[in-house]
Amino acid sequence: MTTLTSYTSVKTNLFVKLVVTQYRTTSTAAFAVQTLLFTDSDAAVTIGSDTYTPLGEFLNVTPTTSELRPTSDQITLTLSGVPTASIPEVLFSKIKGSKVEIRRQFRDGNNLLGTQGYFFGRVNNFSLQEDYSVEERSATNIILLECANYLSILNDKISGRLTNPNSNKRFFPNDTGMDRVPIIKGTKLDF
């Protein structure tokens, strides 16, 4: 983790990596994996082998709180200034469930102080907003991505199996231990 106590001013930038596993540009195109990389920085930045496209003030991330224990908080990524021609890509792709990684980079002037993880999770939902200006006869589009972290995803996960012959045969085809469950269902047993 980066120690920032000895600096008088520090600038931060956010770097978002969105991996859409079912991405397409038209309704008839085949799905493909697409990695979208963008940042609120004013210039393109390369971290590892990934080059992040600058969106500047067109990218907004809801603030988070730092806590000692993991929590199941959600964040909202706001992408504004989206061209109208790019809206079909959002509608034709399956964005829900896409992997989201957000990293934060610290700088003191032009000196890089460090990069750390900020948020890791999946897109839980998305919405589109359009602001139409009648005087200018133009529209600005906003994409809101509601993202859930991995802790909240694990909290919602349903695990286990049923205690019936069909479920048991799926996991253990040769086991007959649950075959009598339908027969003894509802029977009172005196122990």
pLDDT at 109 over 80: no
Of 155, 171, 151, nearest to 163 by C-alpha is 171
Q: What is the pLDDT of residue 23?
A: 92
Q: What is the pLDDT of residue 161?
A: 78
Give the pLDDT mean for 62-81: 75
Give the pLDDT mean for 170-184: 87
Q: What is the pLDDT of residue 115?
A: 85
Summarised one tens digit per residue, pLDDT across range 4-13 is: 677 777 888 8
Give the pLDDT mean for 77-102: 88
Residue 172 vs residues 27, 164, 168, 180, 185: alpha-carbon distances, Å: 42, 12, 6, 15, 21
Residue 161 vs residues 147, 152, 164, 166, 186: alpha-carbon distances, Å: 29, 21, 9, 10, 20
Summarised one tens digit per residue, pLDDT across range 113-123 is: 888 888 899 99
Q: What is the pTM of this model?
A: 0.72
